[in-house]
């Protein structure tokens, strides 16, 4: 049953808050593990439905669904199951001079009720992944998936209802209005994945309740192909990272800066890599079942307008550039000769369109990256370690990939998050657990005589002893 049709956001919130009060002493390690196992099992039981839903929503290829939607969530759950005992264990804090003899511990306490707002581009992974972290931390959750992927939202609703009691986790379906109605409620933590524009709205609304936030945002993630790159490997990795999910990935390479000294051979390798992955001809690419579609007519129109504007301004296509509105299909497109005034160089592209921009030296490319907001990911393809280190140290981004792209997303022992415009806080593994937990210090006095520090004060010398 669609839970959102039988309860208002206020009812849902009240039920979760009451559930939290009941669970306070009981939602320990065994209960959290049970919830995580139930979630994992419900995902397994609904795998065919997940495949069908993502295919219906934007023709996402089965291999990509398995690799980028199901695997990361199951890996997140398995990782939490393996590590939760350690994460939950009280951590001893060493005494300080002023607190000698006292017992100091840090205990992870569930923040309480959490709101998770998810985007459409990886609807399953970006809804159920954070949900797993919230359950590991012991929070109750309202999950609001995106309105742009209705079939996936139905499956997510079903999985959550199958796996978890209604006073622990509930899906509220809907669009902007539902999102805003939920943001008006006094959640303890808001975990938002989406655009920087909406991230600002979320943070403002959360501020009214002083709710903490995790903001997993987007932006333009640049790639640098240096003079010493292995061009064939770089081109294959970049083509895969850019065109899987049809470029609708927050950490997809947005644009490529290539050293002028290797521009021509890199472009040749890139064209060859695209042909190998998706077909040599326009017809073959269009028929490829390995290329997802654009999520909505609006996004299709936005992307085609970006390409048209670039072409009108003098940019050339190395490959692609064509689209079919009725199929929401856009061919893998590589643009050359773009300039900073064009939308493709100013806005997050979020589609299968890749501008390739030549640069002179390290200072040149660093200055161009510095000119924009701090990206979610920066990828460097280069074999010269000293150049890689120089580029890494002189730039700021949510994450760095060296001779690799996208794959850091799959590493549960790395925090996943942005900086500045690309996000606040982090997700995945321990950091996901920490996002939904309050680190509560507990200080216990056993035999330290504190009376000496209380009035009437007998000189400052005693306090000096503790300094
Ligand atoms: P979006 O910001 O438009 O929407 C995200 C969610 O917010 C949806 O559930 C939507 O219903 C809700 N929403 C939209 N407008 C709202 C408003 N005015 N008030 C309250 N809620 C609102 O993002 P999207 O188009 O779904 O996703 C694409 C964006 O997400 C890109 O910028 C991408 O880079 C980013 N993204 C980031 C990550 C990450 O992990 N950092 C992952 C995926 C996507």
ipTM here: 0.97
Domains and CATH numbers, the chain: 9-218+422-442 (3.40.605.10), 222-410 (3.40.309.10)
* pLDDT recorded at residue 449: 82
Q: Determine the distance separating the centroid of ligand 1 and the alpha carbon of 214, expressed in angstroms.
A: 13
Among left, alpha and beta (phi > 0; psi -120 to 50; other), residue 314 is: left
What are 45-96's pLDDT values in tens digits?
999 999 999 999 999 999 999 999 999 999 999 999 999 999 999 999 999 9
Q: Determine the distance separating the centroid of ligand 1 and the alpha carbon of 149, expressed in angstroms.
A: 12
Write the CA distances from 363 to 201, 315, 368, 382, 387, integer angstroms: 35, 24, 9, 16, 11
Residue range 375-393: mean pLDDT, rounded? 98
Per-residue tokens: 284: 């073959």
* pLDDT recorded at residue 457: 81
Q: Determine the distance separating the centroid of ligand 1 and the alpha carbon of 218, expressed in angstroms.
A: 9
Give, for ligand 1, the residue of 4, 72, 73, 119 to mutate: max count of ligand atoms closer than 8 Å to Cβ. Answer: 119
Distance CA 50, CA 151 (A): 9
What are 2-43's pLDDT values in tens digits?
444 457 999 999 999 999 988 887 899 999 999 999 999 999
* pLDDT recorded at residue 462: 66
- What's the mean pLDDT when you consider all of the chain? 95
CB 131 within 8 A of CB 432: no
pTM of the model: 0.96
- Using CA atoms in the order 122, 126, 127, 128, what is the torsion angle rounded to 10 degrees? 110
Distance CA 416, CA 423 (A): 10
| 166 among known catalytic residues | no
- Compute the chain's Rg from CA coordinates: 25
What are 225-271's pLDDT values in tens digits?
999 999 999 999 999 999 999 999 999 999 999 999 999 999 999 99
* Residue with CA closest to ligand 1 atom 17: 176
Whether ligand 1 lies within 6 angstroms of the CB of 342 is answered as: no
| 250 among known catalytic residues | yes
Residues 6 or more apart whose CB falls under 8 angstroms from that of 196 comprise 217, 218, 219, 373, 421, 422
Q: Does pLDDT of 1 surpass 70?
A: no
Residue range 320-338: mean pLDDT, rounded? 97
Write the CA distances from 29 to 106, 138, 293, 430, integer angstroms: 17, 9, 42, 15
Q: Tell me the backbone φ, ψ of residue 256, rounded to 5 degrees.
A: -115, 125
Kindly name the residue from 76, 250, 269, 382 that is annotated as catalytic: 250
Q: Running DSSP on this structure, what letter comes out for residue 467? A: -
Distance CA 210, CA 394 (A): 35
Residues 6 or more apart whose CB falls under 8 angstroms from that of 334 comprise 267, 270, 271, 274, 317, 318, 319, 320, 354, 355, 356
Whether ligand 1 lies within 6 angstroms of the CB of 429 is answered as: no
Q: How far is CA 382 from the centre of its chain?
A: 26
């Amino acid at each position: 049953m669609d839970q959102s049709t039988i309860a208002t956001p206020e009812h849902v919130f009240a039920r979760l808050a009451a559930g939290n009060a009941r669970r306070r002493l009981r939602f320990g390690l065994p209960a959290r593990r049970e919830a995580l196992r139930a979630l994992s099992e419900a995902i397994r039981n609904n795998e065919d439905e997940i495949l069908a839903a993502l295919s219906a929503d934007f023709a996402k290829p089965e291999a990509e669904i398995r690799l980028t939607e199901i695997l990361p969530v199951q890996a997140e759950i398995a990782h939490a199951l393996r590590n939760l005992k350690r994460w939950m264990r009280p951590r001893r804090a060493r005494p300080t001079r002023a607190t000698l003899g006292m017992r100091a511990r840090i205990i992870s306490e569930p923040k309480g009720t959490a709101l998770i707002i998810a985007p459409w581009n990886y609807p399953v992974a970006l809804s159920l992944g954070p949900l797993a972290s919230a359950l590991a931390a012991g929070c109750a959750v309202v999950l609001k998936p995106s309105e742009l992927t209705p079939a996936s939202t139905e499956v997510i609703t079903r999985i959550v209802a199958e796996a978890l009691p209604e006073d622990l986790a509930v899906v509220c379906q809907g669009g902007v209005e539902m999102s805003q109605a939920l943001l008006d409620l006094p959640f303890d933590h808001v975990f938002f994945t989406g655009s920087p524009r909406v991230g600002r709205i979320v943070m403002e609304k959360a501020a009214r309740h002083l709710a903490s936030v995790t903001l997993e945002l987007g932006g333009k993630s640049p790639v640098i192909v240096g003079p010493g790159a292995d061009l064939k490997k770089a081109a294959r990795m970049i083509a895969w990272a850019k065109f899987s999910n049809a470029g609708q990935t927050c950490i997809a390479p947005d644009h490529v800066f290539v050293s002028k000294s290797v521009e021509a051979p890199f472009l040749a390798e890139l064209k060859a890599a695209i042909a190998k992955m998706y077909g040599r001809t326009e017809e073959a690419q269009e028929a490829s079942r390995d290329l997802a579609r654009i999520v909505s007519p609006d996004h299709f129109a936005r992307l085609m307008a970006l390409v048209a504007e670039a072409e009108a301004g003098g940019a050339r296509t190395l490959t692609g550039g064509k689209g079919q509105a009725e199929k929401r299909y856009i061919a893998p497109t590589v643009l050359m000769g773009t300039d900073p005034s064009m939308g493709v160089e100013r806005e997050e592209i979020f589609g299968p369109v890749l501008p390739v921009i030549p640069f002179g030296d390290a200072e040149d490319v660093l200055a161009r990256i510095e000119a924009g907001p701090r990206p979610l990911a920066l990828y460097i393809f280069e074999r010269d370690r000293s150049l890689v280190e120089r580029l890494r140290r002189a730039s700021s981004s949510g994450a760095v990939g060296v001779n690799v792209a996208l794959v850091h997303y799959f590493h549960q022992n790395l925090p996943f998050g942005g900086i500045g415009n690309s996000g606040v806080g982090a997700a995945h593994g321990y950091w996901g657990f920490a996002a939904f937990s309050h680190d509560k210090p507990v200080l216990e006095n056993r035999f330290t005589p504190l009376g000496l520090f209380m009035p009437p004060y007998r000189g400052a010398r005693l306090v000096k002893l503790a300094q």
